Structure 1
Amino acid sequence: MKLYYSPGACSLSPHIALLEAGLPYDLVKVDLRAKKLESGEDYLKINPKGQVPALALDTGELVTEGPVIVQKIADQAKDKNLAPARDTAERYKLQEWLNFVTAELHKNFSPLFSPVLPDDTKAFFKDRLLAKFKYIDSQLAGRDYLMGQQFTVADGYLFVMLAWADRLNIDLSGLQNLMAYKARVAARPKVREALTKEGLLKAA
């Protein structure tokens, strides 16, 4: 498999999932502005959406959209319990979390990366994000992870959003459950490995 990624982008989520799953893969870096690979190849010929992540399977199929990719990865390593079994109530709960992260967090972050939006508009989106993070904080009471005591692919995705909050100076320090959760996920060896491989964390 090949994971098309950009350092620190939402592709970090499936990168974490691949490492947690113990699946073999190759990393292919994408310049999102130029839509080029390091080889100079046109990324749009591989993924016409021009976005990351994209996962090229050994069959030649290309899977896009982060929440779909991480479930595909989890289903290829069932023994790792990165996602509940298909067609169970717990699997739909996982999908609920993945959808919440992608729709309520990820998409509200997008305007904050725009160089042309005025500060008051960005403040609006930061306030909206803070409200969403407060909800998650309330749901993490008494839990190690979003689904309870078991780390799943939804946790890798939420962790990326928390890293973005740091990058954009969104103060979440008052959300104690969320801060403890973030530290717990950050300490996982495979999470640290993904960060190191993407040049986001210095190798020990």
Structure 2
Amino acid sequence: MKLYFSPGACSLSPHIVLREAGLPVELVKVDLKAKKLADGSDFLAINPKGYVPTVEIEGGEILTEGPAIVQYIADQKPESGLAPANGTLARYRLQEWLTFINSELHKSYGALFNPAFPDAAKAVAKELLAKRFDYLSTRLAAQDYLMGNQFSVADAYLFTVINWSQWVGIDLAQWPVLAAFHARVAARPAVQEALRAEGLLK
């Protein structure tokens, strides 16, 4: 599988999942500002949306959107336990978490990274994130991961998103449960491999 990525971006989530599943991955770095690959070719010719993650799967098909990609990867290796079986209530719970992270967390961070957003708008985004972090803290207080004690693709996505806190002035120490979750996921060997491969860890 070929993963088009940008270091530390939301493409880190499927990168982690690929390594957790033990699947081979070819990494292709994308310059998101220039929309170019390292060889100078046009990334928009691969994904007209112009953002990562993007994967090339069997048959040369291109798949985009993180929540779809991580479920696809998990289904290639069901014995990994990274996603419950399709059609089960547990699978819909997983999709519920992926949707929550995508719409309630990921998009709020987007405002904090955008230099065009005024400070007032960024303050609103931080307030929203704080409320969502409060909710996550209550859910993770009694269990290691979002789905219980089994690491899933939702945890890879949550880790990726809250990892951005260090770059936007949010101190996770305000939420000890969330900080502990971040540390727990960061210590996983597959996560360490992904971070190192993206140049985020020495």
Question: What band does the TM-score fall into relative to the shorter chain?
Answer: over 0.9
Q: Give the Cα–Cα distance (whole angstroms) in 2 for the partners of residues 187 and 25 of structure 1.
A: 21
Report 1:128-143 matches (<5 A): 128-143=128-143
Report 1:25-174 matches (<5 A): 25-174=25-174
Q: Give the Cα–Cα distance (whole angstroms) in 2 for the partners of residues 44 and 120 of structure 1.
A: 33
Cα displacement (A) at 1:180 = 1.3
**TM-score, normalising length from structure 2?**
0.98
Cα displacement (A) at 1:176 = 2.1
Q: Give the Cα–Cα distance (whole angstroms) in 1 for the partners of residues 51 and 90 of structure 2.
A: 29
Amino acid at match of 1:181: F
Identity %: 59
Q: Give the Cα–Cα distance (whole angstroms) in 1 for the partners of residues 165 and 136 of structure 2.
A: 14
Q: Give the Cα–Cα distance (whole angstroms) in 2 for the partners of residues 74 and 31 of structure 1.
A: 27
**TM-score, normalising length from structure 1?**
0.97
Q: What runs of 5+ residues in structure 2 fail to find an aligned partner?
A: none
Amino acid at match of 1:132: R
Q: Which moved more, 1:142-151 or 1:119-128?
A: 119-128
Cα displacement (A) at 1:38 = 0.2
Q: Report the counterpart of residue 180 of structure 1 in structure 2.
A: 180
Amino acid at match of 1:83: A
Cα displacement (A) at 1:171 = 2.2
Cα displacement (A) at 1:177 = 1.6
1:14·1:53 contact (CA, 8 Å) conserved in 2?
Answer: yes
Cα displacement (A) at 1:118 = 1.8
Q: Give the Cα–Cα distance (whole angstroms) in 1 for the partners of residues 78 and 134 of structure 2.
A: 32
Q: Secondary structure at the match of 1:192?
A: helix
1:130·1:172 contact (CA, 8 Å) conserved in 2?
Answer: no
Q: Give the Cα–Cα distance (whole angstroms) in 2 for the partners of residues 79 and 95 of structure 1.
A: 19
Runs of 4+ in 1 over 2 A off after TM superposition: none
Residues 71-94 of structure 1 deviation map (CA, whole Å, 9 limit, x = unaligned): 000000111100001000100000
Q: Which moved more, 1:64-73 or 1:175-184?
A: 175-184
Amino acid at match of 1:139: R
Q: Give the Cα–Cα distance (whole angstroms) in 1 for the partners of residues 176 and 163 of structure 2.
A: 16
Q: What runs of 5+ residues in structure 1 fail to find an aligned partner?
A: none
Aligned residues: 202
